[in-house]
Chains A and B, each alone.
Chain A
Amino acid sequence: MTLPFAIIAGLTVGSAIAAMSLRNLVHCALSLVVTFAGLAALFLQLNAQFVGFAQVLVYVGAVAILIVFAILLTRSAEPGPPASMTTGAGWGIGIAVAAFLAMAGAVTSSVVMQRTAPPPSDLTVRAIGHKLMTDYVLPLEVIGLLLTAAMIGAVIIAMQERKSKP
């Protein structure tokens, strides 16, 4: 394990735990930004520059802002009552720990333990764009349609319902 990986991983996991356990929702959103930035740094470390910057643009730039807006619009920024966990908190944590142990066991006992990294390829954005425009052009169009539909749907769902008002 290299030192940069250890630092980034510690920061990411710590801020993820903070995002899931803090009481004030604005603090949760800010910790989430640190988590997303740490993941972007991991993508950069894995030689996936385009995905790293897309992560910064989409998650740190858009999704985090959207979440902060939702927190402020729903006025849930004030700390709630002390018991902000559901009654089944123990069950939830137990299920998550069991899931982690299962996944860790599967990873440590599989053949990927011996796999070594090939030398880094000079992957360019040009290659990604070429691939998107040739092999993946149909998924690209579908995703454009999906994003348009999701945008219109989000606006319609969040719009004030006028007809039901007296």
Chain B
Amino acid sequence: MTPLHHYLLLSALLFCIGLVGALTRRNAILVLIGIELMLNAANLNFIAFWRYSPNPEALHGVMFVIFAIAIAAAEAAVGLALIIAIYRHYKTTNLDQVDSMKG
């Protein structure tokens, strides 16, 4: 069986890849993808800790991940709707050019 810290290191790596994407890419959709990657890395951590916990029958980790997946789905839907609304207004999804309010 794979030791727990391998899963934790993998999830830290995924989180940082998502962080790089969210911090450096210009396209709003890619920033959203980076945020989704970070959420998924957190989910992997929850499941790994649940599997290696002394009493997995409590199911806390699984429940947390189920609710996190539901919230991430809602976040993705609202975020993409916002991106489409911004695109309709500015004709771009480049975040550097979306720099005026009520314009």
A155 to B56, CA, bound (A): 39
CB pair B76–A67 under 8 Å, yes or no, is: yes
Total A-B contacts with CB atoms under 8 angstroms apart: 235
Residues of B within 8 Å of A36, CB to CB, are 40
CB pair A70–B29 under 8 Å, yes or no, is: yes
B48 (CB) vs chain A CBs: closest residue: A46
CB pair A113–B5 under 8 Å, yes or no, is: yes
Residues of B within 8 Å of A95, CB to CB, are 19, 23
CB pair A16–B14 under 8 Å, yes or no, is: yes
Counting CB contacts under 8 A, is B24 at the interface?
Answer: yes
Residues of A within 8 Å of B9, CB to CB, are 104, 107-108
CB pair B77–A13 under 8 Å, yes or no, is: no
Residues of B within 8 Å of A28, CB to CB, are 30, 33
Q: Within residues 5 to 50 of chain B, which ones have a CB less than 8 A from any CB in chain A?
A: 5-10, 12-21, 23-27, 29-30, 32-34, 36-37, 40, 43-44, 47-48, 50
The secondary structure that dominates the A interface is helix
Residues of A within 8 Å of B72, CB to CB, are 58, 63
The secondary structure that dominates the B interface is helix
| Distance in Å: Cβ of B89 to nearest Cβ of chain A | 9
Q: Choose one: B17, B70, B96; the contact of A16 (CB below 8 Å).
A: B17
B37 (CB) vs chain A CBs: closest residue: A16
Q: Choose one: A12, A55, A92; the contact of B10 (CB below 8 Å).
A: A12
CB pair B29–A12 under 8 Å, yes or no, is: no
Counting CB contacts under 8 A, is A42 at the interface?
Answer: yes
Known: A2-B1, A46-B7, A46-B48. A66 touches B80 (CB 8 A): yes
Counting CB contacts under 8 A, is B98 at the interface?
Answer: no
CB pair B24–A93 under 8 Å, yes or no, is: yes
Counting CB contacts under 8 A, is B103 at the interface?
Answer: no
Residues of B within 8 Å of A16, CB to CB, are 14, 17-18, 37
CB-defined A-B contacts under 8 Å, sample of 14: A13-B17, A16-B14, A16-B17, A45-B2, A50-B66, A55-B43, A59-B36, A63-B76, A67-B29, A88-B23, A97-B16, A112-B5, A118-B52, A150-B75
